[in-house]
Structure 1
């Protein structure tokens, strides 16, 4: 059976391209990166083959 994860956050450590919002620091973001490819790899084990990407709240 195939599943869709309807709420997935991804982020990067490229704060020049994607600046952080006020009140957030790079040290608080763990892990420092989490790409769409990462979640696809994790989801395959559970039958998830599609995801809906949602912007993290730490971007400005």
Structure 2
């Protein structure tokens, strides 16, 4: 068991990708705070200034 006390806000709208990324992080003792879109993330953390998508859908 790790002594990490780190939290990660993970924002992803695709449930499969969300699980693929968040599950290993949780196994490494990170606290994963989940949001499924930017509005939900901002509701959790209204002071949040930056969101960096790994990939964006084509317009």
TM range (shorter): 0.3 to 0.5
Q: Under a length normalisation based on structure 2, what TM-score does the superposition of the two structures give?
A: 0.33
Which structure's CA Rg is the greater one?
A: 1
Greater relative CO, 1 or 2 (CA 8 Å, sep 6+): 1
Larger helix share, 1 or 2? 2
Q: Under a length normalisation based on structure 1, what TM-score does the superposition of the two structures give?
A: 0.33
